[in-house]
């Protein structure tokens, strides 16, 4: 899973196996280690939420996705889910969870578990 944060915008991209795990277990997380702390970013399914939400607790950002909108995500063509949350201070936080596609440029990262890019010409 990849995370991209820019201002009040958080974007997660999940590979095929990560989407499978997320859909079957209801949760997926990655951790980045530092000398004395760990930063974790996670996505989890909620049976009670009606829209996406986020929380930041104990050095962990968790994006929460309603079960109703992600059911079958591992077997359908939906790219992802997004929602803009209005914060208590009136600002907004944009959330996006999406499938990770193979990059069309020359990259050295392993993309064997990524989804085929729909913009690629075969």
Averaged pLDDT for residues 17-29: 95
Predicted TM-score (pTM) of this structure: 0.83
Could you tell me what percent of the chain has a pLDDT over 90? 74
Q: What is the pLDDT of residue 109?
A: 66
Structure letter (DSSP) for residue 62: E
Q: Which helix (H) or strand (E) holds 98?
A: strand 92-99
Which pLDDT belongs to residue 65? 97
Looking at per-residue pLDDT, the higher value among 7 and 115 belongs to 7
Which pLDDT score is estimated for 62? 98
90: region left, alpha or beta (phi > 0 left; psi from -120 to 50 alpha): left
**Chain segment 30-87, per-residue pLDDT in tens:** 999 999 999 999 999 999 999 999 999 999 999 999 999 989 998 998 989 999 999 9
| DSSP structure string for 16-46 | HHHHHHHHHHSEEEEEEE-SS-EEEEEEEEE
Phi, psi of 103 (to 5 degrees): -70, 145
> What pLDDT, on a 0 to 100 scale, did the predictor assign at position 100?
81
């Amino acid at each position: 899973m990849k995370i991209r944060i820019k201002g009040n915008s958080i974007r997660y991209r999940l590979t095929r196996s990560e989407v499978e795990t997320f859909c079957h277990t209801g949760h997926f997380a990655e951790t980045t280690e530092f000398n004395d702390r760990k930063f974790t970013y996670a996505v989890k399914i909620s049976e009670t939420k009606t829209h996406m939400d986020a929380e930041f607790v104990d050095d962990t950002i968790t994006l929460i996705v309603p079960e109703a909108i992600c059911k079958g995500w591992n077997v359908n063509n939906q790219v992802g889910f997004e929602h803009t949350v209005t914060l208590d201070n009136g600002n907004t936080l944009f959330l996006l969870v999406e499938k990770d596609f193979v990059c069309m440029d020359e990259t050295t990262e392993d993309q064997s578990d990524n989804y085929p890019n729909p913009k690629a010409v075969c």
